[in-house]
Amino acid sequence: MTLEISAAARDALAGWLDHEKALNGASENTLRAYRADVLGFLAFMTSHSGGTSGLESLERVTLRDMRAWMAHERGRGVAARSLARSLSAVKSFFRWLGARHGFEPTAVLSARAPRFQKKLPRPLAEDAARAMIDTVPLQSPKGWIGARDVAVVTLLYGCGLRISEALGLKGGDAPLPDTLRIRGKGGRERMVPVLPAARRAVDAYTALCPHELGASAPLFRGVRGGALNARQIARVMETTRMQLGLPATATPHAMRHSFATHLLNAGGDLRTIQDLLGHASLSTTQAYTAVDTARLMEVYDSAHPKARG
């Protein structure tokens, strides 16, 4: 189906993806998802419009066309959450396309995403998070691998890093400084304090690692010396959580949720936690910490210029 898409539409998609990578710092995984989402939309519009998919036909997309596409996606079993993500990608593409070619993509931008129940993250209890870190090294007969896994999981929980951010560290980052400069989603940079426990865990790993840790090479390595894959950490945590009787939600990302929630419970400021996590909006941080609306409004009122005026 995608073979029917015009060269002009393909070139426009490539240009938009380049824009997202260069200016918005989109990751390769994000770019692949964007490409698949927009290609699916373009393929549908090619068929829907009778075989034309040039830029002129895209400028004429109507709200009825958008509803037809969404109905088609739901009809083939696409979940509401996935469709909402695809619609977001299509809107972003059309914003760029409209600005570049001088037309208003009003119909596309006015299309409403389907409603879906947002799943709140489930952080681990503090004792469960500590038990996870204590038990992870027992899953490997090789001491250096156990030390590696402890170091990664400690960075997730102790510094609130995403798994991709932890695995993105280089040999030159060790020994860890008091503060790490992390480049996260959307190319946003943030400064993250490093707890002594995280520093000690990384030091223990680097002392045992049999592979040479060059300054520009990955800090965390697989058995054969290549870059450590996130799936390996997910697997060791899966084994550990079954051993501890923890729920299936005890994943690498749950350690980051736990960092945020436990910090808030200890009296941390929501705005500060937002900065530490690298979130663009406070509402995302609210979901991470499962903070109630009253607490969110309290923070908003204290931070809003009108409240101080």
Active site residues: 162, 185, 253, 256, 279, 288
Q: Can you say whether residue 27 is alpha, beta or left, with left for phi > 0 and alpha for psi between -120 and 50 degrees?
A: beta
Exposed e or buried b per residue across 174-189, where buried means at least 16 C-beta atoms within 10 angstroms of its C-beta:
bebeeebebebbeeee
**Packing angle, helices 252-265 and 270-277, rounded to 10:** 160
Pairing of strands 189-193, 179-183: antiparallel
**Which helix (DSSP H) or strand (DSSP E) does residue 183 occupy?**
strand 179-183
Determine the Cα angle at 84 with ends 23 and 282, to 5°: 60
**Residue 82: which residues within 8 A CB-CB, separation 6 or more?**
none
Q: Is 159 within 8 Å of 249 (Cβ atoms)? A: no
Q: How many CB atoms lie within 10 A of CB 203?
A: 15
Q: What is the DSSP string of 48-104?
A: HTTS--SHHHHHT--HHHHHHHHHHHHHTT--HHHHHHHHHHHHHHHHHHHHHHT--
- C-alpha distances (whole Å) from 57 to each of 8, 107, 166 are 11, 13, 44
**Residue 158: which residues within 8 A CB-CB, separation 6 or more?**
194, 195, 197, 198, 259
Q: How far apart are CA 161 and CA 165, in angstroms?
A: 6
